Amino acid sequence: MRPSARARSPAPAELRQTRAIPATPQDSLGDGNNDVEMFAEVTLAVAVANATPRARAAAAHVLPVSNDEDAVAEAIYTHLLSDS
């Protein structure tokens, strides 16, 4: 959606506005410093195992797998489909 070097903090608000998504809880998955501001804008911020130190520190959860090891599937299974 955005070049990786750009900050992504406007992304959640842009998605809500352009896609008519209600302002309900939003989750985010990231791995870089450009994801840190976006993490502050969402309900659940999840970093992958190989994320930068800043991204890992800003995330509410850090996955045990990297973005090369099915991190998106792990995030969906662990945080979206689980009962916890």
- Is pTM beyond 0.75? Reply is no
- Listed in order, strand segments (DSSP E) in 1-84 are 27-30, 44-47, 61-62
Which pLDDT does position 1 carry in this prediction?
43
Task: Give the contacts of 83 (CB within 8 A, at least 6 positions apart).
Answer: none
Cβ neighbourhood burial of 77 (10 Å; 0-12, 13-18, 19+): exposed
pLDDT string in tens for the chain (84-residue length): 444 555 555 666 676 678 776 666 678 899 999 999 989 888 899 999 999 999 999 999 999 999 899 998 998 888 777 654
Q: Does 62 fall in a domain?
A: yes
Q: Does 6 fall in a domain?
A: no
Q: Does 53 fall in a domain?
A: yes
Structurally, the chain folds into a number of domains equal to 1
Which pLDDT does position 2 carry in this prediction?
46
CA atoms of 6 and 16, how far apart (whole Å): 19
Which pLDDT does position 6 carry in this prediction?
54
Domain assignment of residue 53, given as a range: 11-80
Q: Does 70 fall in a domain?
A: yes
CA atoms of 38 and 7, how far apart (whole Å): 8
CATH number at residue 26: 3.40.50.1000
